[in-house]
Structures are given as structure tokens and as C-alpha cells.
Amino acid sequence: MKKLLGLLAALAVMLALVMSVPSIRTASFWQAFVEPGPLSTAHGFLQGDCSGCHVSIEGVQAARCISCHANETALLQRQPTAFHSSIETCVECHREHEGDAGLRSAMDHQALATLGLRLLARAPEGSEARLLYSHLFAHGPAGSASAGTAGFANTPQAQLLDCYGCHQSRDRHEGQFGRECGSCHRTAQWTIPEYSHPPPSSTDCAQCHRAPPSHYMGHFEMVSKRVAGVEHANVEQCYLCHQTTSWNDIKSVGLYDHH
């Protein structure tokens, strides 16, 4: 009872304080209770126009976002982000009222896969939309999620995505490892912490590495072989000239400076 009285007294003091400050006695005081946080800097100009994004009952509508963002040419022309033209919802990846980092949030492959599967299920058989959404996936909507996996930690849905369709330009292996990037890579980062490279004594280099075009031209005879001081080698014998540390670290020569 004593505790409750104390609490009531504290509340009365707080209320008195609040009502004595004119600026928070007004509408913004009440708005603070329904406003979950300040808008991002980019959308700050909409501070006075909540309906820019909100529709009273339905909540946030992607159509409002799209009406302002439909002409993002750079976004739509870039292979990894071209999916924006047909994805239809936004808040899964772009948060508002959570500062600038929330709005520019990192890629969420799981959300993309879930959205894609949902849109695909809705699209009528044989429709253009169906074709569009099926391009997001390498293994078909009903395809086995375990296809090609080597026990890596992608979620089953994310594992269905066609990594190559969006990340072709990031293929460090120049096609040598095929298009199933997801069988070795997670979606969170390209590096693979548990991977260890074959030792420098390996003679299998050419199984995993492709020589640059210069190695198949006169340059190989005239420069590469002379620099390495190895007269009898064919291009596929990388290990005779190269180290595993860097392609410019030439055996018994050291770091080769192109300039």
C-alpha cells in the first residue's frame, strides 16, 4: 500500500512536470506515443506527412514507396539489385524509424527467398510474372532444398536462390567452380573461415586456377618464362613458377613488380 502511494505521488509529479512544458503539452506529446522513432535523414522531409507512407488501416503500403522510387535506374540496372523491379514489398529489408542504418540495411537473402516463393505461388501458371519470379531460383520452387549443398549454413529457402544470376560479376573462380556458388558459400559473407588452401607443395594448381590470357600468348614465352627462369614448362604447370601467397610471388625470384 505504501509502495502504491509512492508510485502515485511520483506519477503526479511527472504529469505536473510534463504539463508545465508547453512544447510537449501539444500534439507532439501525444504523437510521441504512436511514433516509434525519428524518421531517417533521407525521409526527414516527410516528418509532417506520415501518410506519405502510412495508410490508416492497412499500415505501410509498398505502393507509396514505389510511387517515389520507381525510377531508380542505377538500382534496376545493377545485376544484384535488379529484383527491385518486381519484388512488391519493401519493409522486409528497409526499416523506417530505426535511423539511417535501418533504411540502408544489408541484404536479407532469407527475406528475398521467402518473398519470392510467396509471389511465385500466387503467380498463375504460364504467366509473365511466374517466369520473372522463377528466375530468382536455381532449383525451382518445388526443388529440393538440399540440391548441391555441402552442409553449409544457408537456410533451406535461401539455398534455392540462383546465386549466379545475381553474383556472376563476383565470380572469383572464372567459371572453374560452376554456378552453384551456394554449395560452398554462405550468404552472409564471401570468405569461408574454415577453408584452408592446399599447401604450396601441391601440383594441382591448374585444377582450381585459370591462367590469365597473357599466358596463352607470346608474352608467356617472352616474359613469364624468362622472369621465372624456367625454360621447360607448359602453362598448366603453375606450381613450377608460382607460390600460393600471391600470383606475383614468383618462385626463387620473389615479388614481381609489373612497373
Restricting to residues 180-239, name those near ligand HEC by CB under 6 A: 180-185, 187, 189-192, 195, 197-198, 200, 202, 204-212, 214-215, 223-225, 227-228, 230, 233, 235-239
SS3 259: coil
Backbone angles phi, psi at 249, to 5 degrees: -95, 100
Residue 36 interacts with ligand HEC (CB under 6 A)?
yes
Q: How far is the CB of 3 from ligand HEC (least distance, A)?
A: 32
- Element at 174 (helix H, strand E): none
Report the C-alpha gap between 146 and 159 in whole angstroms. Answer: 8
Total site size for ligand HEC, rule CB under 6 A: 111
Helices (H), 35-173: 62-69, 73-77, 99-103, 109-122, 128-134, 156-159, 163-167
Cell 527491385 appears where? 84
- Comparing CB distances to ligand HEC, the nearer of 6 and 254 is 254
Q: Is 81 in the site for ligand HEC (CB under 6 A)?
A: yes
Any idea what the Cα angle at residue 83 is, between residues 78 and 86, rounded to 5°? 135
98 touching ligand HEC, by CB under 6 A: no
Longest alpha-carbon distance in the chain: 96
Give CA separation, 15 vs 6, 9, 10, 12, 25, in Å: 14, 10, 9, 5, 10
What is the secondary structure of 81-109 as a DSSP string? GGGGGT----TTT--SSSHHHHHTPPP-H
Residue 29 interacts with ligand HEC (CB under 6 A): yes or no: no
Which residue, 35 or 128, is less far from ligand HEC as judged by CB?
A: 35
Of residues 102-131, which lie at the interface with ligand HEC (CB under 6 A)?
A: 103-104, 106-109, 111-112
Supply the minimum distance, in Å, between the C-beta of residue 6 and ligand HEC: 32
State phi, psi for 195 to the nearest 5 degrees: -80, 135
Nearest residue (CB) to ligand HEC, 128 versus 236: 236
Q: Of residues 41-60, which lie at the interface with ligand HEC (CB under 6 A)?
A: 42-43, 46-47, 50, 52-54, 59-60
Q: How far is the CB of 40 from ligand HEC (least distance, A)?
A: 7
Task: State the amino acid at position 28 in one-letter form.
Answer: S
Selected range binding ligand HEC among 8-16, 22-30, 118-126, 161-169, rule: CB under 6 A: 161-169
The nearest distance, CB 24 to ligand HEC, in angstroms, is 15
**Interaction between residue 241 and ligand HEC (CB under 6 A):** yes
Amino acid occupying residue 211: A
Q: Is 244 in the site for ligand HEC (CB under 6 A)?
A: yes
Q: Does 156 bind ligand HEC (CB under 6 A)?
A: no
Which 3 state secondary structure label does DSSP give 19? helix
